[in-house]
Amino acid sequence: MLDLTHRPRRLRTSKAIRDLTQETTLHTSDFVFPLFLIEGTNKQEEVASMPNIFRYSIDNALKVCEELQTLGIRAIDLFGVPDKKDETGSEALNPKGLIQRGIRAIKKEFPDLCVMTDIALDPFTSHGHDGLVKDGKILNDETVEVLCEMACSHAECGADVVAPSDMMDGRVGAIREALDDEGFIDVAIMAYSAKYASSFYAPFREALHSAPKFGDKKTYQMNPANSDEAMREIELDISEGADIVMVKPAMVYLDIVRRARERIETPIAVYNVSGEYSMIKAAAQNGWIDGERVMMETLLSMKRAGAKLIFTYFAIEAAKLLKQS
Ligand code: PBG
């Protein structure tokens, strides 16, 4: 005999009742749009492996910011593709560098847009690693000193949030101290706390011409097999002063997001990375999946797992759909 005391399907009988009992809702204000800057004027280059994602010169990036604001997207994460790369990534500290000029221009025109900036050396180093290198090793403490200078340089230009994505030990505490010493007490730190050594970053590295020239990033980014270690990294970053912690990539690491959510109250961000974007785009272009639906389902899963902020190349497309619904 069927026991039908409970019929869970009752709450699925109409759109109204489904909406009323829906547990998780995506908002445009959850999204952070990663923006790639290049030198020059009136430039816009599509990233070959990321359909509809472009590198923009600063003047064109301002037009994108305008669109973001109109759509209700509140934040960007700035990455630079500088013309000049060298062994120590010295261009990262140039007060008139690409990112520094970009932050100033964007904050001047869009003071309400939350400008986050990537803190890591990889786009600026000739070898493509996130830190300084000696005898084939990525140096930790020496790199942290440079990252502190980089964070202060971005804060000086008006960045609202600095986002260290390098995975050096102790960098969050050091950056907090450096920012405070220079009076930037309100500049927040969004720490890439559980950042895995992932193969999903390939299209991003193409976008930034930043693939490592030797070795890999496994001595600083995390082993994809580990979950306890992610909790340790997250707790360390919070104790060092992180205002927001990130899990990256997103799609195949939602167990880490959920586990962190159950342990900590600090806001959690996920980075829906380049490879995740490109896979969906490629399948959609082939007509194998409904790209828009898969996009929304994917973004929703990140929120449901426990993330509040979602860094995603889908931000504009998803915001347009949310506006219609
Ligand atoms: C580098 C950085 C990477 C990404 C963000 N910051 C790549 C890497 O660590 O090699 C990847 C983002 C993406 O794939 O969309 N510090």
The region that residue 187 occupies, defined by phi over 0 for left and psi between -120 and 50 for alpha, beta otherwise, is beta
**Helix 58-71 × helix 315-324 angle, to 10°:** 30
Q: Rounded to the nearest whole angstrom, what is the distance from the C-alpha of residue 220 to the centroid of ligand 1? A: 13
Which residue puts its alpha carbon closest to atom 14 of ligand 1?
Answer: 201
**Matching residue, tokens 């506006």:** 323
Bridge-based pairing of strands 268-272 and 31-38 is unpaired
Q: What is the 3-state secondary structure (H, E, C) of 7-33?
A: CHHHHHCCHHHHHHCCCCCCCHHHEEE
Q: Does 120 sit in the ligand 1 pocket, CB within 6 Å? A: yes
Max CA pair span of the chain: 76
Bridge-based pairing of strands 54-57 and 44-46 is antiparallel
- Give the C-alpha separation, 223 to 225, whole Å: 5
What confidence tens digit (pLDDT) does each residue in 43-95 have? 999 999 999 999 999 999 999 999 999 999 999 999 999 999 999 999 999 99
The domain containing residue 164 runs over which residues? 26-246
Q: What is the CB neighbour count within 10 angstroms for residue 168? A: 23
| Residue 10 included in any domain | no
| Residue 199 included in any domain | yes
| Residue 85 included in any domain | yes
Q: Does 273 sit in the ligand 1 pocket, CB within 6 Å? A: yes
- Which CATH number goes with the domain that contains 130? 3.20.20.70
| Residue 77 included in any domain | yes
Q: Does 165 sit in the ligand 1 pocket, CB within 6 Å? A: yes
Q: Best of 79, 248, 273 to mutate for ligand 1, by most ligand atoms within 8 A of CB?
A: 273
Sequence length of the chain is 325
In this prediction, the residues of the chain whose per-residue pLDDT falls under 50 are: none
Question: What pLDDT is stored for residue 116 in this prediction?
Answer: 98
| Residue 298 included in any domain | no
Contact assessment for residue 271 and residue 297, using Cβ atoms and an 8 Å cutoff: no
Question: What pLDDT is stored for residue 1 in this prediction?
Answer: 84
Beta bridge partners of 271: 311
| Residue 322 included in any domain | no
| Residue 293 included in any domain | no
For residue 273, which atom of ligand 1 is closest to its CA? 15
| Residue 315 included in any domain | no
Q: Does 118 sit in the ligand 1 pocket, CB within 6 Å? A: yes
Domain total in the chain: 1
What confidence tens digit (pLDDT) does each residue in 210-240 have? 999 999 999 999 999 999 999 999 999 999 9
Q: Best of 35, 122, 251, 314 to mutate for ligand 1, by most ligand atoms within 8 A of CB?
A: 122
